[in-house]
Amino acid sequence: MAPVLSRSLTPASVASLPYSPLFSSRNNTHNRLSLRSAFFHQNELKNSSFSCSGLKWKVDKRGSSVVVKCEASAVAEKEAPEASGEKHEYQAEVSRLMNLIVHSLYSHKEIFLRELVSNASDALDKLRFLSVTDPSLLGDAGELEIRIKPDPEKGTITISDTGIGMTKEELIDCLGTIAQSGTSKFLNALKENKDLGNDNSLIGQFGVGFYSAFLVAEKVIVSTKSPRSDKQYIWEAAAESSSYVIREETDPEKQIRRGTEITLFLKDDDKYEFTEPSRVQGLVKNYSQFVSFPIFTWQEKSRTVEVEEEEPKEGEETPSEGEKKKKTKTEKYWDWELANETKPIWMRNPKEIEKDQYSEFYKKTFNEFLDPLAHTHFTTEGEVEFRSVIYIPGMAPMNNEDVVNPKTKNIRLYVKRVFISDDFDGELFPRYLSFVKGVVDSNDLPLNVSREILQESRIVRIMRKRLVRKTFDMIQELADSENKEDYRKFWENFGKFVKLGCIEDTGNHKRITPLLRFFSSKSEEELISLDQYIDNMDEKQNAIYYIATDSLQSARSAPFLEKLVQKDIEVLYLVEPIDEVAIQNLQTYKEKKFVDVSKEDLELGDTDEVKERESKQEYILLCDWMKQQLGDKVAKVQISSRLSSSPCVLVSGKFGWSANMERLMRAQTLGDTSTLEFMRGRRIMEVNPDHPIIKDLNAACKNAPESTEAKRAVELLYETALISSGFTPDSPAELGGKIYEMMAVALGGRWGRVEESEEAGETSESAPESESESTETEVVEPSEVRTEADPWST
């Protein structure tokens, strides 16, 4: 019998067995290997275990068979040393890493100028801070400033500062090590040295801002001089290279007293854009306008100078020196121009700022020509600290697409006075407040490395919550002010935004609802608030009644209001498409429910139950008969408690769409007709038992239930109720035909019209007298045949 190898043997263990032709496979179900006796030494078979290939094997004799097993513990002991491998550092290909930094972190090429100006500002901040304890660092190298000079001829742009500069070691450490932030190191050193304090106004933290220069440059040269060193060094690198060169500056003409000068040799595609002086100045004003150091840009200017006229031509008299005429001409020249003269208004004390200054800042920042309706300037402290100034514009945007666009560029985000972005997708303000304009400046926003994308986080949510709350406080203050005209302008321009908030922001319903304004049955000329409505209502009234229509005219003439107006109950008019959905999302206000007067089960609170019971009993047969005639057009016919002058009205089901909502959904471009049929709900026909038409139909159903005229009257009554209730008839042409037919019956011969055949008989003089006598008949005018109940009779 062949020895059996244990199934616990790992592949590695099997591989460690020496190969020998002594092995021969047998076809059996136990996967056994037959070994010849020459494989093992006789002494080894006598022992209970032996070693082979570094593994421990156990020999077990079973009769004439030998079983060989590999012990698992031995396998584990052998594999244990292999688990602890060598430790290696990640290897990065520098050129590819640089390519990722340049082309993946930044979404716009123009960002390079913001990053380099921010680095220059940090260098100036460091020098100013260190000079407090070591004034010798300032020396006589001039003021702390930044200068930017484009050169269209050479295709370069140079950014220079008079900041702290860098030594050779700092060049290698900061510019030679990717993502090594000198600013971050400086801040850490300040935190460790408590005696020096902590200045967290520095901007750069990630150490990759400098490399944004390669977005537009094919080569970058950095010339820097530190006040701590006597030598000036040059750092030079190309965009596609993985190495850089550092050398000492030996040219006396290129020596600088202190600071850093960065020269970008622009790519061919970017030369014309970023060497244009006006373009450079525009970028500075957009991104770095509020940097605390002056930024000068090299600009072309013009001036008017006086020059003497040219010498006179031949034949002309030469004027004397005193009589020589002078003329003016305009000449152009180049000079430095301050680009960031505006101070950040949000960093100042609100008590020291006049209203005109806020308006001027608003107009200049957002290119507006109208003064804002309101503004608020605030600072929040605690776990999230930021400063902000927000405005309500003087008018709504002209383009309807901008009304609820979450990506409007109305909020400008700054981090330490450096502009970051104005392209947000609802992170800082909800969509319905997208009309609000303002600036937000924070020192600890969770930005990404490129500082262009605001990451969703708890801090952002807290900021959003506080900004929204301050906005509502500002609007409420405007509503409560004595000048009602300002809030009227606000509501005229931005009322739709506020109503949209009722739909999208359930958490702020308590702040939104007091701001709403509507017309009503008691105030058709002036908008009223819900608080005014509640103050005017009767103590017994426990609901806020409203009706949704397409205009004030249709609202005031709607049959649903007849009994409510008769009882002096005020009804809100919802005449804008968004009104009904907004009110339905509110549901209640100050424990008063909103009730649609065009829906079933309207309770007015003072119904005469005895009279109502008698009316139902008297007209129960009429209701069943009318339901039978109308079929599936209505869910049921019942006696109405809301009508006083109209014969009937069609009301919507309690949970279905109203007539106004049905009209709006039909008008949707992408409306689903199947949804329309489902949500339309049931229609209930309510009849007025006190109206003469209903009384006549009640008599008809009792005395002549099969009368064709009565059935036609019921159909016409239903279709007329459709229109008066705000619904759209299924076949307007068919309805028009029925109305024409009824008019023909009512008007026939009323004003003594004579038939054409009769006129022809009277004017026929040639006809024989006998013939005329035989054909003469008695003519009865239709006007003489009238019933007492004819509404057209006088």
Q: Which residues contact 542 (CB under 8 A, 6 or more apart)?
A: 592, 593, 605
Q: Is 451 labeled as ligand-binding?
A: yes
Q: Specify burial of residue 23 (Cβ count, 10 A radius: 0-12, 13-18, 19+).
A: middle
Instruction: Name which of 186, 188, 239 is nearest 212 in CA terms.
Output: 239
Cα–Cα dist 540/132, whole Å: 75
Q: Where are the beta strands (DSSP E) in 599-723?
A: 636-639, 648-652, 683-687
- The pLDDT value given to residue 283: 92
Phi-psi region for residue 298, left (φ > 0), alpha (ψ -120 to 50) or beta? beta
Provide φ and ψ at 637, rounded to 5°.
-120, 130
- The pLDDT value given to residue 9: 40
CB 447 within 8 A of CB 394: no
Cα–Cα dist 88/96, whole Å: 20
CB 181 within 8 A of CB 115: no
- Tally of CB atoms within 10 A around 378: 16
- For the chain (794 residues), the mean pLDDT of every run of 10, in chain order, is 40 41 43 44 51 58 57 48 58 66 74 89 88 84 89 93 90 74 54 49 58 89 91 89 86 89 93 91 90 90 76 59 67 88 84 92 89 93 88 81 64 84 78 90 68 66 90 94 90 92 91 94 91 89 90 88 88 91 90 89 74 84 91 89 88 82 76 64 86 90 88 89 85 84 78 60 52 46 46 44
Q: Is 181 labeled as ligand-binding?
A: yes
Cα–Cα dist 247/224, whole Å: 11
| Identity of the amino acid at 382 | G
| Identity of the amino acid at 67 | V
Measured CA to CA in angstroms, residue 385 lies from 232, 279, 321, 380, 443 at distances of 41, 34, 71, 5, 7
User: Mapping DSSP to helix (H, G, I), strand (E, B) and coil, where does residue 482 land?
Assistant: coil
Q: Is 205 labeled as ligand-binding?
A: yes
Cα–Cα dist 350/470, whole Å: 15
Q: Is 378 labeled as ligand-binding?
A: no
Q: Is 207 labeled as ligand-binding?
A: yes
- The pLDDT value given to residue 180: 57
User: Mapping DSSP to helix (H, G, I), strand (E, B) and coil, where does residue 739 land?
Assistant: helix
Instruction: Name which of 760, 738, 751 is nearest 792 in CA terms.
Output: 751
- The pLDDT value given to residue 234: 93
Q: Is 197 labeled as ligand-binding?
A: no
Q: Is 208 labeled as ligand-binding?
A: yes
- The pLDDT value given to residue 672: 64
Q: Where are the beta strands (DSSP E) in 105-211?
A: 146-151, 156-161
Instruction: Say if strands 411-415 and 418-421 run parallel, antiparallel, or are unpaired.
Output: antiparallel
